[in-house]
Homo-oligomer: A and B are copies of this chain.
Amino acid sequence: MPRPALIIGSVAIDRVATPFAQSDRILGGAATYAAIAASYFAPTRLVGVVGGDFPPAFIARYRKHGIDLEGLRIEPAGKTFYWSGRYREHFAGRDTLEIQLNVFENFSPILPPSYRATPFVMLGNIQPALQNHVVDQLAGPRRPYILADTFDLWIHTTRPELERLLKRIDLFVINEEESLLLTGERNLVLAGRHLRRMGPRAVVIKKGGHGSLLFHPDGYFAISAYPVTKFVDPTGAGDSYAGAMIGYLASVNRTDFAALKRAVAYATAVSSLTVESFSVDRLSSAGRRTIDARYRELVKITRF
């Protein structure tokens, strides 16, 4: 029986420019991408904060996916976190053009009492102190399974707090560059092993268009990316990847190596949809059948 998944992270209004197109005032934020991804697999709860300017259409988008919004705090007098960024030529990195933290500046995630026993939790990329603060609030009859994401800024600025977090989580999902930065390794296989020694039982290193790697006590797993040809905007790909993982694990209520491998494959399928449009448009409209078809396609294109 599917268990619920809890997603904590940023909710934002974005402006994104790529070398080919741009968009403005679109729904964004790590928690948005992760929650919609997770919602395809399990009942999903969202903890975040928005301002009075948050469009009703964005709330409707969450509701369409059945996302529980009891944990979404609305501050009517404030404005929603705003981020504007531009991807460089060939998507070789991106530059932040403008950030208005607004209501996100003093965000301190408070779990509603009904969320505290959620058995599957994703700590999106927020300050490690806040991620630890969420862990402090978790209190159920069973030890929750916790996935955390991070960001290069926290590796540079609040490393001790991040190291403390790593000892408290089960699954760490990080991208290639950040895994090397955090460990000082020059090789992703060594970086993955190194990260496991820092605490989490399982580690996933995401390599964007080159797939991802899973490190687990029972073995190593490598998956290629889904062959996307309509690449529009990578924003949120990593967040929807992590959200799909926690959602899938909650849906099967398992966290063993075999389940984690399948979670990685579903995450690969889901994040391939995210990059095919701005915002969550493609992710949200795709439907579970498209995700399942991509999962089966991944099985097919990687077997020999």
Contacts and interface: CB of A to CB of B under 8 A. Distances in A.
Contact of A187 (B219, B231, B261, B302): B231
Contacts of A225: 222
A227 interface: yes
Contacts of A85: none
Contact of A228 (B189, B211, B264): B189
A234 B299 CA distance: 30
Nearest to A189: B227
Contacts of A90: 186
Given A187-B229, A227-B189, A221 B262 contact: no
Contacts of A262: 304
B221 A304 contact: yes
A220 interface: yes
A258 B300 CA distance: 12
A192 to B, nearest CB: 9
Main secondary structure of the interface of A (DSSP, over half): mixed
A231 B221 CA distance: 19
Interface in A177-213: 186-190, 207, 209-211, 213
B231 A211 contact: no
A255 interface: no
B265 A229 contact: no
A111 B293 CA distance: 50
A154 to B, nearest CB: 23
Residue among A207, A219, A227, A229 with the highest chain B CB neighbour number at 10 A: A227
A41 to B, nearest CB: 16
Q: Pick from A222, A223, A228, A299 the residue with the most CB of B within 10 Å.
A: A222
Given A210-B211, A211-B211, A229-B190, A222 B302 contact: yes
Interface residues of A, number: 33
A57 interface: no
A301 B223 CA distance: 8
Contacts of A190: 229
A186 to B, nearest CB: 6
Contacts of A213: 224, 227
B210 A265 contact: no
Nearest to A212: B224
Nearest to A222: B224
Interface in A107-157: none
Contacts of A207: 210
A211 B229 CA distance: 18
A177 to B, nearest CB: 11
B301 A220 contact: yes
Given A187-B228, A189-B229, 17 more contacts: A187-B231, A188-B209, A190-B229, A207-B210, A210-B210, A210-B211, A211-B222, A213-B224, A213-B227, A219-B301, A220-B301, A221-B304, A222-B224, A222-B302, A223-B302, A262-B304, A303-B303
